[in-house]
Structure 1
């Protein structure tokens, strides 16, 4: 009886659980709720499961379900987008509940089949925004057609990350993905493309090389994504992208995604967009509110000491940090320096081997190393989930590059901190950044506390630099490698300065007019210092800024000497000029103080740059009245300024970095009167146009490794057929019936192997494996055993054999 009761209870439980199980998949069943019905206990009718009904009408039913879900489900979720079940299941499995703003805006537009240019700040879910509609459009694998989606990324790490993300999100769709990266074996990539993948993810250099080797048509591609589009068009991938785009069909859907995209789509004309939709979010708030910024002013030579102090005392031990340096030589030097000081670190730069890059990223992600030192190769797209800090060892020369670097932290609503080490020659770039963000530069004052230090620009106490500097000196003395790497990094920095783009003129002007001597110690560093220590620092600063009133001619000379008389007369002559200069400097200092106190920008803070200087004696409140009463020939209502309001923001986002000011466009419009003349060809004895050189350059294209390959269809070294002949031959590649011949009648050696050659190669391989596995030794032992047995059984006389018989054996 007891057993029967238990069975009954189990049955009831299962009966109760069944509706729960159905409701899990019921996101996509027709919502059949009848609210007006009086009998709540009555079971409601619903659609049969897909396994029960496999008729020809099934696809239409699914469309009905999708349409119904789209109407009925609560707006704002992924359910309201009408996604198919496998795609939605992948999204839910990944842990996404509600779409981010960029996903909510872009996914419906992409599903409608329109081209798009989309911008949203870092860590806002752009990758899912183009992957989810891609899965929805491709639906399921196709046996006959080639690749139907192509995703291009600027760096290998970003491509690997996109691949991982694609596999996770598209787990239930069954779509095949091929990864085409530089640094990996080309044979494997040819094989991957032979397996007829639905999605190709790759970097432009290697993808173009593979496409040209295999002569791929890419005519079946219907969905193209340029991830970090601005970087792709900036990095010099123009030729590679052109080669790939030419092979794509005109009916494709093209999407451009990045955190920093300009408003003018002319700059992306090469991507072949047709009537694109522009979606730009976070144009005003380009940075997440959760990211705190700190700027430290110091000399170039003090940067290593400051970096050590930050990693040891400011950053918590359990927090992970990414350090951005200018060149790969800086990365190598810093890696050696931190390792010698006992800080475990990983490192990445573009010239590093692909395997080493993967190992180093893995080391950092799995928290074996808490510091990752990188160049700008890792500035874009890399998503390290629990990253806490970013340190700019060298300040970036472009404002949007700063956004991408800083965007490694504060992803998906998490908080993070950024520390920037700024030397005097990088100061204009800090002002450029603040122009771009539309924020004022906050110079540190004694009133600042560590709690309100966000965006503060302060100095570093000398005592901190002295402590760490002494460690560094001993470390350099004990290590020859460190000395050599330091010297190399200094030379590299000189070369880097030559190639670094110039800051805007208004930022240079503002830096000159800013008085940095009044800047206090940064609140993050000054909080632990005593009052005496701060006073000592001020005295040291006063000594640093001391200028003697007597010139070099007057030192150790009498007042009656000729040199002192000359200087006295010169002083009396130039008194008026000296007074004028000192007064002007005081005015500038007063203006900068006034600007800082009033937060000198409403819309764009560069508007103050060309403003009229005010004397400190003028009353600030009276000025607007005077200005209003003064008659100007400008009607504010109809006046069109020659620069738009968002000029600085758009200049920071533009690909060239020049902006679109009229003066820049005008300077590039040059009339070439002597254009047709060209150069004199001595052999032909006539003038020749330069066009031939351009055509020659077009014939050659640079690939991902830096090598230059021919753009012709026939190449001397054809990697693809040779890789096929190594045993990748399938039913599509039959061996030739007879010897091939050229039109002229010459015999050509076939690239494809005959049966005899294949057998010979197999035997050779087997022999090699036999010798490698110690087969000869085993044979010797076997023969010895056999010989012993023969001896023992030899004619019934045992092992004692004498004379001729023994010799014979």
Structure 2
């Protein structure tokens, strides 16, 4: 057992009892590093930049002080049904996740938390704003639309949070975010959270934050990937990748698993292949409508399916703590995509395994990732679905075969999930 003393509790850091009771009911008592460092500053109303890798407790790092201050802070106006806090996140999936996390923490508070994102009708969202919302969570495009329509009032927002700011930069949301931030002309607190700090994020911070405190939850030279994630990398022939993946999915101790593909077509095809081999599998990619994506994600969260095949953009913000394995079916295009992908496992104190299948035509991409992240694996070995090394390294039972049972149906749709639009 570690002799290290546990991190302080939320109660010890002065969080309102209504919130600490709600967290205790969820089994959350002690803080993570990012929470321990940000809470005292955030509760005092200071601007801050919080930097921590994905899966290290950022949501409650900003969510707990945000709820505490909206509920009971002298410098935040009494709630009256117009938003007091605004949380901007890059994707629909993350918006739903953050909204649910905040609702759970606010269960004992008289606060209304509501989540806004595109791909859904405006009517319900406008009705909610007319009825009254205290804490708004949403994606940049939809929040800007609602603001420009006059439905979302920003004049009484006391706390603004940008979560996963580096991902919003990747997805091209910076102009929308800047427009929203310029609309907040009155005094307010701003908290910016990001796993990495590229130049444009620092520029944004300097433009819109007032003397921010920059908090890193790890040392400046710490690795970009979690120490709790075991990284296994090998060369796999393109024609053998499906059989290799089927074997990996039979590893002892495998739980929820995310398989990443680079393209929508490959994601759909891999999901169809695994379903044909008898695995319970769902798919999340850009050719699927939002309801189908949410069905897949909810089934994965609940354990109805234990394998999710996803593309990078569709998987942004999948925030599930008990993923045991990530498989990079196709090598990522760049180092940060690799970090985001494998960050889906080894989260929140759990251990995880990340397996990367490097096709012979993907070696240059792997070389760039290995060099940039200093992973020490410049020459991955060549393994096949029949290689003893594959079975030994991943603890796959000797009798593992190509299929595990009768064919199943892909949840969320496979290759024919939605036909691509024709250009007129």
TM-score normalised per structure 1: 0.45
Deviates more, 1:81-90 or 1:428-437: 428-437
- Are 2:290 and 1:358 equivalent residues in the alignment? no
- Pair 171,369 (structure 1): closer, same or farther in 2 beyond 3 Å: same
Deviation readout 1:590-649 (Å, 9 max, x if unpaired): xxxxxxxxxxxxxxxxxxxxxxxxxxxxxxxxxxxxxxxxxxxxxxxxxxxxxxxxxxxx
The 2-side partners of 1:83 and 1:111 are apart by 8
**Equivalent residues of 2:11, 2:17 under 8 A apart:** no
- Are 2:33 and 1:85 equivalent residues in the alignment? no
- Pair 233,243 (structure 1): closer, same or farther in 2 beyond 3 Å: same
**Equivalent residues of 1:220, 1:249 under 8 A apart:** no
**How far does residue 260 in structure 1 lie from its aligned partner after superposition?**
2.4
What's the secondary structure of 2:23's corresponding residue? helix
The 2-side partners of 1:318 and 1:297 are apart by 22
Which residue matches 1:524?
A: 393
Between structure 1 and structure 2, the one with the greater Rg is 1
- Pair 191,526 (structure 1): closer, same or farther in 2 beyond 3 Å: closer
Which residue matches 1:129?
A: 61
**How far does residue 84 in structure 1 lie from its aligned partner after superposition?**
2.1
Deviation readout 1:325-379 (Å, 9 max, x if unpaired): 1111111111222222222211112342121112111222222222100111354
What's the secondary structure of 2:348's corresponding residue? helix
What's the secondary structure of 1:372's corresponding residue? strand
Which residue matches 2:330?
A: 394
Deviation readout 1:122-153 (Å, 9 max, x if unpaired): 22111010011001111159453620100111
Deviation readout 1:70-109 (Å, 9 max, x if unpaired): xxxx983322322222122223222222111111111111
Which residue matches 2:49?
A: 117
Deviation readout 1:32-89 (Å, 9 max, x if unpaired): xxxxxxxxxxxxxxxxxxxxxxxxxxxxxxxxxxxxxxxxxx9833223222221222
Count of matched residue positions in the alignment of Structure 1 and Structure 2 = 388
- Pair 381,220 (structure 1): closer, same or farther in 2 beyond 3 Å: same
- Which of 142, 155, 165 lines up with 2:91 in the alignment? 155
Kindly report which structure 2 residues correspond to 1:224-623, keeping only aligned pairs within 5 A, or say none. Answer: 224-262=160-198, 266-269=202-205, 272-282=208-218, 283=220, 284-312=222-250, 315-316=251-252, 319-441=255-377, 443=379, 457-461=380-384, 463=386, 524=393
**Equivalent residues of 1:458, 1:521 under 8 A apart:** no
**How far does residue 524 in structure 1 lie from its aligned partner after superposition?**
2.4
**Equivalent residues of 1:458, 1:522 under 8 A apart:** no
**Equivalent residues of 2:7, 2:36 under 8 A apart:** no
- Are 2:100 and 1:164 equivalent residues in the alignment? yes
Higher relative contact order (CA 8 A, sep 6+): 2
What's the secondary structure of 2:162's corresponding residue? strand
**How far does residue 183 in structure 1 lie from its aligned partner after superposition?**
1.9
- Pair 386,213 (structure 1): closer, same or farther in 2 beyond 3 Å: same
What's the secondary structure of 1:431's corresponding residue? helix
The 2-side partners of 1:90 and 1:271 are apart by 36
Kindly report which structure 2 residues correspond to 1:643-722, keeping only aligned pairs within 5 A, or say none. Answer: none
**Equivalent residues of 2:94, 2:316 under 8 A apart:** yes
Which residue matches 1:477?
A: none
Kindly report which structure 2 residues correspond to 1:42-57, keeping only aligned pairs within 5 A, or say none. Answer: none
The 1-side partners of 2:180 and 2:162 are apart by 12
**Equivalent residues of 2:383, 2:390 under 8 A apart:** yes
- Are 2:148 and 1:212 equivalent residues in the alignment? yes
**Equivalent residues of 1:459, 1:522 under 8 A apart:** no
**How far does residue 526 in structure 1 lie from its aligned partner after superposition?**
11
What CA RMSD, in Å, does the superposition of the two structures yield over aligned residues?
Answer: 2.8
**How far does residue 305 in structure 1 lie from its aligned partner after superposition?**
2.9
Deviation readout 1:10-41 (Å, 9 max, x if unpaired): xxxxxxxxxxxxxxxxxxxxxxxxxxxxxxxx
The 2-side partners of 1:88 and 1:527 are apart by 43
**How far does residue 113 in structure 1 lie from its aligned partner after superposition?**
1.8
What's the secondary structure of 1:414's corresponding residue? coil
**How far does residue 269 in structure 1 lie from its aligned partner after superposition?**
4.6
- Pair 144,167 (structure 1): closer, same or farther in 2 beyond 3 Å: closer
**Equivalent residues of 1:228, 1:258 under 8 A apart:** yes
**Equivalent residues of 1:116, 1:276 under 8 A apart:** yes
Please identify which structure carries the higher strand content. 2
Please identify which structure carries the higher helix content. 1
**How far does residue 434 in structure 1 lie from its aligned partner after superposition?**
3.1
Q: Which runs of 5+ in 1 are unaligned?
A: 1-73, 444-456, 466-519, 530-705, 707-809
**Equivalent residues of 2:248, 2:394 under 8 A apart:** no
The 2-side partners of 1:431 and 1:94 are apart by 43
What's the secondary structure of 1:78's corresponding residue? coil
The 2-side partners of 1:528 and 1:407 are apart by 27
Q: Which runs of 5+ in 2 are unaligned?
A: 1-5, 399-420
Which residue matches 2:26?
A: 94
**Equivalent residues of 2:19, 2:108 under 8 A apart:** yes
The 2-side partners of 1:328 and 1:91 are apart by 38
